[in-house]
């Protein structure tokens, strides 16, 4: 059935298929917002940060020096400045090194990327025939993981290819022809390249699904099942997710072999974020209200969330016309433009980034001092993921939500 589906894909316009997928996701998102977003208790958006509470500091008993990995990999880890593993790394890395399948439940910013990259790199060092597939929901997360991979693997003679939508597919095809052990990709582009026979998953004995819950939210359940069905039956499978929904549980039961369960209770992100609301009177100009807010608050970087691509572009343009250094990021932009906007935001060339929820999960954007929900998120979980872009690295953050 899977091969038949790929044959249909080849005979149709791939762009049309992608447009239909995006349209379907947008329609489901709109319904989700209609029936959930408008019923969120606004009181949950108001919370003041508390005076820090003294807690016993939990120090990892493990050091990266103590890991049972190749010496050259240890040097690469230390060169990244990694000394003591985070909780997810401390529990996950030994299990993966032992060859176990794994389900890692932890939020963003907990060190999940290194938790799977380090043992996978060691596995390749031990056997250069090993191949690893890393599947993620968004282009930005794929690029972020590849950047971390390059930093860890640059002296190990191990190479990767990122295959993502919105980027030049011919360039990706050329890169796939060169020696590589790791492919990092989004489901749609992976399917496309498999259908064109540029990727043969039968030769891959390792797979990592990162942000698995997000991929299910975006409608990629069948894609995940089909990708896994094409891989070697004898494989190591790693699932990383912020939540453990019924669907995730069914996937792990069907596709993982006696997995190690690693649950990390992250410090409540909300405890470090000052949350408040701005009430918008009927007929009021929200952009004018946002302008007034931005000139009053002291900020380093502001991430502003809009629910639509059109709204994000419009808001960014209006703020730019008012003298703010701003840009927008959403799924309708080319990959080059999205990466350019992210780079300018990270490098302080702009200090306001207007985004749809594409930027809410998985991305590591340092020093975001404020998150502003110009549009109310669809669900409370979406709200938590949005405001989780601030208050990171033990800093205090601020979140403001505009409500009618």
Query: Domains of the chain (ranges plus CATH)?
Result: 42-52+268-403 (3.40.50.300), 67-263 (3.40.50.300)
| Rounded distance between C-alpha atoms, residue 233 and residue 99, angstroms | 14
| Rounded distance between C-alpha atoms, residue 49 and residue 43, angstroms | 15
* pTM (two decimals): 0.74
Taking the alpha carbons at both ends of the chain, their separation in whole angstroms is 48
On whether the CB atoms of residues 243 and 70 are closer than 8 A, the answer is: no
pLDDT tens, residue order, the chain (404 aa): 444 433 333 334 444 444 444 444 444 444 444 434 455 677 777 766 644 433 333 445 678 888 899 999 999 999 998 989 988 999 999 999 999 999 999 876 778 999 999 999 999 999 999 999 999 998 889 999 999 999 999 899 999 999 998 889 999 999 999 999 999 999 999 999 999 999 999 999 999 999 898 898 888 999 999 999 999 889 999 999 887 888 889 999 999 999 999 998 655 556 778 999 999 999 999 999 999 999 988 888 999 999 999 999 999 999 999 999 999 998 888 878 888 998 999 899 999 999 998 766 667 788 899 999 999 988 887 888 788 888 876 678 899 999 98
Helical (H) or strand (E) element with 401: strand 397-403
Sequence-distant (≥ 6) Cβ neighbours of residue 379 within 8 angstroms: 32, 36, 37, 40
| Rounded distance between C-alpha atoms, residue 227 and residue 321, angstroms | 46
Place of tokens 């790929």: 6
Q: Describe the chain by its helix, strand, coil percentages, rounded to 5.
A: 45, 15, 40
Pair of tokens at residue 72? 């050259």
Tell the burial category of 367 from Cβ atoms under 10 Å away from its Cβ (0-12, 13-18, 19+): middle
| Rounded distance between C-alpha atoms, residue 92 and residue 366, angstroms | 25
On whether the CB atoms of residues 284 and 294 are closer than 8 A, the answer is: no
Place of tokens 């990266």: 64
């Amino acid at each position: 059935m899977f091969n038949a589906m790929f044959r249909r894909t080849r005979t149709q316009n791939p762009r049309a298929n992608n447009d239909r997928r995006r349209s379907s996701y947008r329609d489901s998102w709109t319904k989700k917002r209609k029936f959930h977003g408008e019923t969120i208790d606004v009181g949950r958006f108001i919370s003041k940060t508390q005076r820090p509470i003294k807690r016993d500091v939990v120090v990892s008993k493990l050091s990266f020096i103590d890991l049972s990995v190749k010496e050259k990999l240890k040097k690469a880890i230390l060169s990244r400045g990694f000394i003591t593993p985070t909780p997810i790394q401390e529990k996950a890395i030994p299990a993966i090194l032992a060859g176990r399948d794994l389900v890692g439940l932890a939020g963003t910013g907990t060190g999940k990327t290194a938790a799977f990259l380090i043992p996978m790199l060691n596995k390749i060092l031990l056997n250069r025939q090993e191949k690893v597939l890393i599947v993620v929901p968004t282009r930005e997360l794929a690029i972020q993981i590849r950047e971390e991979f390059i930093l860890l693997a640059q002296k190990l003679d191990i190479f990767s290819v990122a295959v993502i939508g919105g980027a030049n597919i011919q360039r990706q095809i050329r890169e796939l022809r060169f020696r590589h052990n790791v492919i990092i990709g989004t489901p749609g582009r992976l399917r496309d390249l498999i259908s064109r026979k540029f990727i043969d998953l039968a030769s891959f004995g390792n797979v990592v699904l990162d942000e698995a819950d997000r991929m299910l939210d975006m409608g990629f359940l069948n894609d995940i099942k089909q990708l896994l069905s094409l891989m070697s039956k004898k494989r190591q499978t790693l699932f990383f997710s912020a939540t453990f929904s019924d669907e995730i549980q069914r996937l792990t039961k069907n596709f993982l072999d006696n997995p190690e369960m690693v649950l990390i209770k992250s410090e409540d992100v909300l405890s470090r974020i000052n949350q408040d609301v701005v009430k918008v009177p009927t007929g009021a100009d929200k952009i004018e209200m946002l302008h007034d807010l931005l000139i009053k608050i002291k900020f380093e970087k502001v991430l502003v969330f809009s629910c639509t691509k059109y709204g994000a572009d419009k808001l960014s343009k209006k703020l730019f016309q008012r003298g703010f250094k701003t840009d927008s990021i959403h799924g309708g932009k080319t990959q080059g433009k999205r990466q350019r906007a992210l780079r300018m935001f990270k490098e302080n060339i702009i200090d306001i980034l207007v985004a749809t929820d594409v930027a809410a999960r998985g991305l590591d954007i340092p020093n975001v001092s404020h998150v502003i929900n110009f549009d109310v998120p669809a669900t409370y979980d979406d709200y938590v993921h949005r405001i989780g872009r601030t208050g990171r690295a033990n800093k205090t953050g601020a979140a403001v939500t505009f409500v009618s």
